[in-house]
Amino acid sequence: FVGNSTYLDDHGPPPQKVLPFPSQVVYNRVGKCGSRTVVLLLRILSEKHGFNLVTSDIHNKTRLTKNEQMELIKNISTAEQPYLFTRHVHFLNFSRFGGDQPVYINIIRDPVSRFLSNYFFRRFGDWRGEQNHMIRTPNMRQEERYLDINVCILENYPECSNPRLFYIIPYFCGQHPRCREPGEWALERAKLNVNENFLLVGILEELEDVLLLLERFLPHYFKDVLSIYKNPEHRKLGNLTVTVKKTVPSPEAIQILYQRMRYEYEFYYYVKEQFHLLKRKFGLKSHIRKPSPRPEFFIPSPLETEEPINDEEEDDEKWLEDIYKR
Active-site positions read 88
Cα 164 → chain centroid = 19
CA separation for the pair 326, 322 (Å, rounded): 7
Are the C-beta atoms of residues 103 and 219 closer than 8 Å to each other? Answer: no
The angle that helices 316-324 and 207-217 make with each other, rounded to 10 degrees, is 80
| Closest to 87 measured CA to CA, from 109, 63, 57 | 57
d(CA 105, CA 131): 32
**Which residues, at least 6 apart from 158, have a Cβ–Cβ distance to it below 8 Å?**
164
CB burial readout 285-305, b (16+ within 10 A) else e: ebeeeeeeeebbbeeeeeeee
Reduced to 3 states, what is the DSSP secondary structure of residue 282? Answer: coil
- Which residues, at least 6 apart from 102, have a Cβ–Cβ distance to it below 8 Å? 22, 24, 25, 26, 76, 85, 94
Half-sphere exposure of 90 (CA within 13 A, CB side): 24
Rounded Cα gap, residues 267 and 111, in angstroms: 10
Q: Give yes or no for a contact between 118 and 88, defined as CB atoms under 8 angstroms apart.
A: no
Q: 108 - beta bridge partners?
A: 203
Report the DSSP beta bridge partners of residue 203. 108
| Residues facing 53 on adjacent strands | 84
